Amino acid sequence: KSSSEVAERLEENGHQNKRLKRDADEEDVEDQNKKSPKRKIVLLMAYSGKGYHGMQRNVGSSQFKTIEDDLVSALVQSGCIPENHGEDMKKMSFQRCARTDKGVSAAGQIVSLKVRLIDDILEKINNHLPSHIRILGLKRVTGGFNSKNKCDARTYSYMLPTFAFARKDHDVQEEVYRLDKETLEKVNKLLACYKGTHNFHNFTSQKGPKDPSAKRYIMEIYCGEPFVRENIEFAVIKVKGQSFMMHQIRKMIGLVIAIVKGYAAESIIELSWGEEKVDVPKAPGLGLVLERVHFEKYNRRFGNDGLHEPLEWTEEEEKIAVFKEQYIYPTIINTEREEKSMVNWLNTLSIHDFNSSVVGMQANHKNLK
């Protein structure tokens, strides 16, 4: 045979071998995908939000790092989702339960998405996450499940140093201050005013007074007994509501602090439901933690159908508690000690002009009458 024929035959064999290898590789990937087909799941997440610009990813804006940036990267690296799903999150039907703001932490965030159910999935995802972000649990859910729409309530906590409630005319030594029973009762009486359905347009920057979505339903809100950490006394406010608007909880707490300290009259809470603009101060984001999200309707319908598990996390409670003690509480306490975010914010309360809003509104009420 001529040398050119031999060369052609060798080249053909070479291409054939490459093609066979490529086909075999593709079959391996297909086999792997068949073994772990995509399924709709929810992940239970805990994270310390310090240093992050909130939960929700801003695709194309790498300067503002979010929790979801780290999560998506870990999902791709662990092999749960293809790389292109990371760029377009709709492809994996991704939905988070709550968009936590800048610096806000979570002990019980839930995200729903479609993933390949690979072996040791939680361990593999966590291996690609920083230690202050953990996936603590996973459950299979119905194909049409959307964690934001199916969630009927969210519970947040707000941890703050109790000297925030000291009267403005008292000289407060932060480490020495202790909350007395009467002040705690006053705090709880004021917080109770928020219960029920109200127009919270004054507690966010996004809504006008006539916007129906500014009406929100608060189920529960109270301040627990104080406790001492690192020589500073803290207390935790718990609030459960159907859903919350941006900055709403921080403003609800900010206004109560302003009243207890003596900067604003008690009547301002009632007046804030009205149409007038009220200057409501926004407490620091540091102490806010998404504690848990509730799926009561979903659990009633699918939790005991024999195919799906109820979205309850009793088995994970211990892991959640350990994570909070390890990452969330120390971050709040140490940041408060070092950066004095509450002290600095309290110094701005005197700038707020609560009276002009109240006087203006009272005058309007008289004119209307």
Q: Around 84, how many Cα atoms within 13 Å sit in the side-chain half-sphere?
A: 1
Tokens of 151: 């969630």
Q: For 43, phi and psi rounded to 5 degrees? A: -115, 135
Q: Give the residue among 120, 119, 100 at the shortest CA–CA distance from 108.
A: 100
Max CA distance (Å), the chain: 111
Q: Is 156 annotated to bind ligand? A: yes
Q: Active site residue: 101, 180, 305, 353, which one? A: 101
Question: Strands, DSSP E only, in 118-177?
Answer: 133-140, 153-161
Given a contact cutoff of 8 angstroms between Cβ atoms, the answer to whether 256 and 160 are in contact is no
Residue pointed to by tokens 């109820």:
310
Residue for token digits 């892991």? Answer: 319
3-state secondary structure of 136: strand
H/E stretch holding 108: strand 105-116
Is 101 a known active-site residue? yes
Q: Which residue ranges make up the annotated binding site for substrate?
A: 156
Residues catalogued as catalytic: 101
